[in-house]
Amino acid sequence: MDSLKRRILKDGLVIDKNILKVDSFLNHQVDLNLMYEIGTYFKNYFKEAKPTKIFTVESSGIAPASMTALQMGLPMVILKKETSKILSDNIYQTVIHSFTKSIDYNLTLSKKYITAKDRILIIDDFLAKGEAASGAIRLIESAGAEVSGIGIVIEKSFQPGRKLLESKGYRVYSLARISSLEQGCIKFCSDKNPSAK
């Protein structure tokens, strides 16, 4: 997605060789026009997968997931990173590790918002080591539902997330694939997205 790549180059801040900060348009201040365009790309790519719901992990995936859900006319469900006292015992839960924050946290889904008949499209902001997506998959499959696809805004292709997910048979589609953040420079993969048609 060329407009996304241009925005990453313009406003993305390389913190180190593994971390890219995009809080000026994706996960602190949000450019809704860009998010709407992102939603259009995901809608067009995944419409044949016929998802019944859009899932995302709080909080940075909410903006692109909501725009995708809006355009596909589907409900959006936010997987919570902490156990809520309100949710009681009627939940699915799994532990995932955040490499950026170096902490483990509980990923939680209320049983009220998923059935075994659901086909879930996961939308998230970043794909690095695949921890968040893998946690979401565990929750979805605990309910007997199916993962219809995984849409990623920014993929760090030099980390093993895509390989991990695709090796388990999941369909991954990323809008911007970064091959390197070495020496403060953002470099994109020159090859086409292997999941793209």
Domains assigned to the chain: 2-79+116-188 (3.40.50.2020)
pLDDT value at position 197? 25
Distances (CA, A) of 3 to 6, 9, 34, 178: 5, 10, 8, 14
Residue 195 in contact with residue 148, Cβ under 8 Å?
no
Is 155 annotated as contributing to ligand binding?
no
pLDDT value at position 147? 98
Is 129 annotated as contributing to ligand binding?
yes
Is 79 annotated as contributing to ligand binding?
no
Is 111 annotated as contributing to ligand binding?
no
pLDDT in tens for each of the 197 residues of the chain? 999 999 999 999 999 999 999 999 998 999 999 999 999 999 999 999 999 999 999 888 999 999 999 999 999 999 998 766 665 678 999 998 877 677 888 899 999 999 999 999 999 999 999 999 999 999 999 999 999 999 999 999 999 999 999 999 999 999 999 999 999 999 999 855 443 32
Is 131 annotated as contributing to ligand binding?
yes
Beta strands in the chain (DSSP E): 13-16, 19-21, 53-57, 76-79, 91-98, 103-110, 119-127, 146-156, 172-180, 187-188
pLDDT value at position 195? 37
pLDDT tens digits for 52-67? 999 999 888 999 999 9
Is 132 annotated as contributing to ligand binding?
yes
Is 130 annotated as contributing to ligand binding?
yes
pLDDT value at position 97? 82
pLDDT value at position 86? 62
